[in-house]
Amino acid sequence: MKILVTGGAGYIGSHVTKYLLDKGYKVSVLDNLSNGRREFVDKRAKFHKGDLANKDDIKKALKSCQAAMHFAASASVPDSVKNPGEYFVNNVSNGLNLLEVMWELGVNYLIFSSSAGVYGNPIRVPIKEDDPKIPTHPYGLSKLMFEEILEWYNRAYDLKSISLRYFCAAGADPRGGIGEDHRPETHLIPVVLDVALGRRDHVEVFGGDFDTPDGTGVRDFVHVMDIAESHAVALKHLLEEKQSEIFNVGIGKGYSVLEVIKAAEEVTGKKIKFKKVGRRPGDPDKLVADVGKIRSALGWEAKNKDLKDMIEDAWEWHKSYFQK
């Protein structure tokens, strides 16, 4: 079976591509390399440099595929607040181009890379899939909009999809070669590791007055290799059951920012300086997944639940990539 992976040169997309290839799938990658890295794309995949804004690019990459996994997106929460138009164009309008080409070519199965950002400030923790969704930033709203578009394509065109709402992706393939490299980097663990490597002076800790044990925000970190596996399991389920669904992807446990910093110090053996600064608007106290639905429906559960193990894998890659 051949699968199109959009955004396959990015952090999560490149890990999923490698995982699919290891499982015997053929993979076609479409990426414009605006954020992705060409060297992250497994050599076994067919790479197409192109853009979802161009339907001809999509048609070339989607040719002879039987399903698609859609990762391509603008994905920075702070940037989305400053540049909302970019997020609605890239994450909604360009995503519609993919759906239109899929419909035209008769490709009826899609796994969508969604986000816990759709929930906004949750009414409870852990968060269930049917809890209220009130995004507090354009990035989260763009993901929610696309989920709703998929529901209408399901009804009108019988395009079946599974949306996977990840919480905080972390780690790297322990076999090496690919990892997390956003430019600029805003994700907590790689920023912390940058400090450990001496690539930046300190970590900015946003807020110290959250309703959490140590006053810093709590997040559910899930290993990127577990996320990759969840995609393969979701695709198998979608092909067998032919029913659209939405699932949280996390470990069901949260770690605070200060706990992440402490764990990184233990892994790296380095003292990691941090400075507390003001809270970012819309940052919730806690984001932790209820993973009961995906466990029950798909039989899937994250294997790598230890924060230090996730940081260890990320650290090994970080050192090898940035100390060349």
E strand or H helix at 237, and its extent? helix 224-241
Dist. CA 248–CA 303, nearest whole Å: 15
Token pair 């990892």: residue: 179
Phi and psi (nearest 5°) for 274? Answer: -145, 155
Token pair 């994250």: residue: 302
> CA–CA distance from 15 to each of 1, 173, 232 (Å)?
18, 7, 12
Cα within 13 Å of Cα(61), Cβ side: 32
Q: Are 130 and 102 in contact (CB under 8 A)?
A: no
Q: Which one of the listed residues 139, 153, 166, 255 is annotated catalytic? A: 139
Dist. CA 158–CA 148, nearest whole Å: 14
Tell me if residue 255 is catalytic.
no
Token pair 């970190």: residue: 221
Q: Which residues in the chain belong to E strands, given as ranges? A: 2-6, 26-31, 46-49, 67-70, 109-115, 160-166, 168-170, 203-206, 218-219, 221-223, 245-249, 255-256, 274-277, 286-287
> Residues of 292-324 as b/e, b for ≥16 C-beta within 10 angstroms?
ebbeebbebebebbebebbbbbbbbbbeebeee
DSSP state of 273: -
Which positions are annotated as active-site residues? 139
